[in-house]
Homo-oligomer: A and B are copies of this chain.
């Protein structure tokens, strides 16, 4: 018998802190403040400031395991918290400033946050819930235009009083590093607790050529907020590689982002489809206004990107959009849609179809799909089932043991997405499990029907949902909003769908509506549609 002889070096975020300090002291961080001024600093500045923050938090009584929340836009000081809090052994909790105050009350209370670091521009939001969270002992205000009010602490004043060194402990790699909560469309939001190990492994993955390929030559603009799954790991990847970081602060309008991309010579940007749709529209309108010669690639995720957008960027502007899929529970990189040599002989349209899929499993991640009967489905590109994933940066539980039904007995996470998987492992999302239409034992994808309807010239928006049906259990109903001044007959819509799907997918009923009811984040609120119109097929 032989024993391994390799060093026992735990994977902890302290490595990033030291690496950035020693190898990349000259790498830049650029942050746009609330007043639009650009704040410039370096990775060399980051280390002593993270030490000062750790000293200040220690002085405020923060101990290993304590939760320190942030309610901040993307900026340099947020990166300081990203490093100082986990490296001192505490747990970073990034609060989502887009949530309703009642959700924030619940989340901050559930996590037991003891300190909140908040942008002064977000104090009005904090004021709506901080008093209802008794665990919060201190509020530290990052003055981005305003001053710290009475009863709060000023971030810069706190740091100014501290030493620029801190004895960061040697932590076990399983130590909690950060918490994010799911947006929780059903029931309360649930907490996912990332460990140092899961975060470090995810950081390595983000820098791999087949995922985001982040490297030292890059200038990164994470448009995705730092309160969304750690900005998809991009700040950590920058620290690992020495890539320059650019933050837009609260200014997420397309024009402001394009200005920033051009002036800072951004090579890589990442965000949700709505951001890129706005940017594409601006680029199409004024294709020569911005010099984006250095911009090579954009990662789009968070929700499915329209193929026309992916195509538009590459065909009209020479920018590669990479489609990725992930969730809070997957840190978030789950799958990425890269072409492989097996696609060399496909035509442009077929290649676009591959690039518009959710892609195949990122390194160390595994995917499978299971039908309603629990059987693992074949990778045939047709069988629809719930996507399940597994991997070292995938949640195996929720904080407090909640939501046990989302985890299988054999150790997989149930994503709630209904997908097909093809023979090369490419995943395509058809629906959310709660929205898929179950017609006589067969599944119908509401998303695919909606996309087809919305490609009709007269249709502004279309939502397809399950109507209750006496014989088939459920049948599709389509709610349609016309474009201003436009209209189509039911026969015309049916003709438009014809040949695109099996005939049993065709909706039983088309309903004209003024607007599709939506959630606070802009997603179709199908529960409301079912409530209003779900019994229409029973009455006929």
Which of B191, B242, B342, B392 makes the CB contact (< 8 A) with A9?
B392
Q: What separation, in Å, do the CA atoms of A65 and B1 have in the docked complex?
A: 5
How close is A34's CB to chain B, nearest CB, in angstroms? 28
* CB <8 Å contact, B9 and A65: no
Interchain CA distance A198-B4 in the complex, whole Å:
9
Name which of A65, A207, A244 has the most chain B CB atoms within 10 A of its CB: A207
Taking the complex as formed, is A366 at the interface, i.e. its CB lies under 8 A from any CB of chain B?
yes
* Known pairs A6-B392, A215-B209, A363-B207; A26 contacts B424 (CB<8 A): yes
Cβ contact within 8 Å between A7 and B341? no
Q: Chain B interface: which of A171-179, A269-277, A449-457, A518-526?
A: A171-179
B65 adjacent to A22 (CB under 8 Å): no
Which one of B242, B366, B396 contacts A340 once the chains associate, using CB atoms below 8 Å? B242
Copies in the complex: 2
Q: A393 near B6 (CB under 8 angstroms)?
A: yes
Least distance between A45 CB and chain B CB atoms (Å):
16
Q: Does A488 contact B (CB under 8 A)?
A: no
From residue A363, how far is it (CB to closest CB) to chain B in Å? 5
Q: Which of A18, A19, A111, A194 has its CB near the most chain B CB atoms (within 10 A)?
A: A19
Interface of chain A, main secondary structure: loop
Contact B210 A5, beta carbon cutoff 8 Å:
no
Q: Smallest CB–CB gap between A106 and chain B, Å?
A: 16
CA distance A83 to B229 in the complex (A): 35
CB pair B241 A2 closer than 8 Å: no
* Residue numbers in B under 8 Å from A2 (CB-CB): 65, 67, 91, 111-112, 176, 179, 191, 193, 399
Q: What residues of chain B lie closer than 8 Å to A411, measured between beta carbons?
A: 7
Chain B's closest residue to A93 (CB) is: B2
Q: Is the CB of B4 within 8 A of A195?
A: yes
With both beta carbons as reference points, the residue of chain B lying nearest to A214 in the complex is identified as: B209
The answer to whether the Cβ of A355 comes within 8 Å of any Cβ in the partner chain is no
Quick check: A5 and B216 within 8 Å, CB to CB? Answer: no
**Who on chain B is nearest to A67 by CB?**
B2
Residues of chain B with a CB closer than 8 A to A290's CB: none
- Which A residues are within 8 Å of any B CB, using their own CB? 1-9, 11, 15, 18-19, 22-27, 65, 67, 91, 111-112, 174-177, 179, 191-195, 197-198, 200-201, 204-205, 207-210, 213-217, 219, 240-242, 244, 331, 338-342, 360-361, 363-364, 366, 379, 390-399, 411, 413, 423-425
The 18 listed contacts between A and B (C-beta, < 8 Å) are A2-B111, A2-B112, A2-B191, A4-B194, A4-B197, A7-B413, A11-B364, A19-B366, A22-B379, A23-B425, A204-B204, A204-B363, A208-B209, A208-B215, A210-B241, A217-B338, A217-B341, A244-B341
